[in-house]
Amino acid sequence: MFKIGYRTIKTAIGVGLAIWIAQLLELNSFPSAGIITILCIQVTKKQSLKAAFCRFVACIIAMAYSFIFFEGLGFSPLIIGLMLLLFIPTTVIAGVKEGIVTSSVIILHIYSAGHVTVDLLLNEVGLLVIGISVALIMNLYMPSMEKQFVQFREEIEDDFALIFRKMAQYLRTNETNWDGSELITVSDNIAEAKVLAFRNVENHVRRYDDLYYRYFKMREKQFDILEKMIPMVAVLPETSNYHIRIAEFLEDLAEHIHPYNTSHVYLQKLEEMKEELQQMELPKTREEFKTQTALFDIVKSIEKYLIVKSVYKGLAGKKEGMKKKQLS
């Protein structure tokens, strides 16, 4: 379904507004104010501020170069080429290379005028200020991403729960018909969510709001551990009472996956499980030895999974209508 994005709407309104203001002030080449607005409206507020700064500085440099080259060496295509050979490296060194396109428009305006005057330079500064100001005003509005974050979070947590249940099922029965498709879904969702969360961080100019980014980063680390756990579970040769004990623990984890942080509860339970495992009889055969080693590795992986969550502060202020259960 065709959909017009908020950035497209802001750009359309901003361009019209910038051109209208420039025309109202009777500035020459007033459509250029709209071009500057287009170039300065970015995906995030921080990117827009950076783009505005780079374009403003680059344009000031361009006007200084235009005065020196055109008034000193004359107005000709050769002089424009020579000036750009020096101007472009200057913007790169100054760290404002994003402003090359905008400043090139300013240079061509001055070249078309055939002379450099104070009025001409003030006209260009006016176009620049109008274009940048309108773009920054348009970018004051950024739609909330909360709904998307919640959707990603719920999908990731649901898939985590399913992965735990499938591992528990295998530990109980040594059989499973799971195709592992959720692993791909989780990986894709985490990657997309992190990109969106970082964009959200970039939209907070005066504060560093990275709660969701840290949340999805935490889930990414946990997912890496889960991916390594699955082969460990798959190679267990037989079921035993301890297999069932771990299966019950995984099923318990599956029922309590959410953004809040009470993993210390499960770390304590895991310590009890480790003590039980250490009290098992020593293996008498090579097969028993491999089984016990695999069980130790699985428990250690579960511990790593919980430790990752234990150092995470959590989305304490994000209730989202959830019941506060005991979390993992």
Per-residue pLDDT of 41-85, as tens digits, reads: 877 777 778 888 888 899 999 999 999 998 888 888 898 889 989
In the prediction, which pLDDT does 209 show? Answer: 58
- Please report where in the chains the tokens 């472009």 appear, as a residue: 88
C-alpha closest to that of 38 among 12, 17, 3: 12
Amino acid at 167: M
Q: How far apart are CA 13 and CA 11, in angstroms?
A: 6
Which DSSP symbol is given to 283? P
Mean pLDDT of 14-29: 91
- Does 235 score more than 80 pLDDT? no
Q: For the chain, give the mean pLDDT.
A: 82
Report in angstroms the alpha-carbon separations of 273 from 12, 263, 266, 278, 279: 62, 15, 10, 9, 10
- Does 21 score more than 90 pLDDT? yes
- Does 224 score more than 50 pLDDT? yes
- Please report where in the chains the tokens 């680059």 appear, as a residue: 58
In the prediction, which pLDDT does 313 show? Answer: 67
In the prediction, which pLDDT does 89 show? Answer: 92
Per-residue pLDDT of 247-289, as tens digits, reads: 888 888 888 887 775 677 888 888 887 777 777 677 666 666 7
- Does 33 score more than 70 pLDDT? yes
In the prediction, which pLDDT does 320 show? Answer: 43
Q: By the 8 A CB rule, do 31 and 19 touch?
A: yes
Q: By the 8 A CB rule, do 144 and 47 touch?
A: no
Amino acid at 325: K
Rg of the chain on CA atoms, in Å:
30
- Does 328 score more than 70 pLDDT? no
Per-residue pLDDT of 137-192, as tens digits, reads: 888 777 677 888 889 999 999 999 999 998 888 888 877 778 888 889 999 999 99
pTM of the full structure: 0.67
Other beta carbons within 10 Å of 295: 22
Lowest-pLDDT range, 59-73, 85-99, 183-197, 231-245? 231-245
For the chain, helix (H) and strand (E) counts, in that order, are 12, 0
Q: Which residues of 106-138 are buried (b: 16+ CB within 10 A; e: fewer)?
A: bbebbbebeebeeebbebbbbbbbbbbbbbbeb
Domains of the chain, earliest start first: 6-138 (no CATH), 156-310 (1.20.120.940)
∠ CA 114-119-125, rounded to 5° = 100
Per-residue pLDDT of 131-145, as tens digits, reads: 999 988 888 777 677
Q: Which pairs count as long-range contacts for 178-183, CB under 8 Å and 24+ apart, including other chains?
A: 180/230, 183/227, 183/230
∠ CA 46-39-103, rounded to 5° = 110
Q: By the 8 A CB rule, do 48 and 42 touch?
A: yes
4, 6, 9, 15: CA torsion to nearest 10: -140
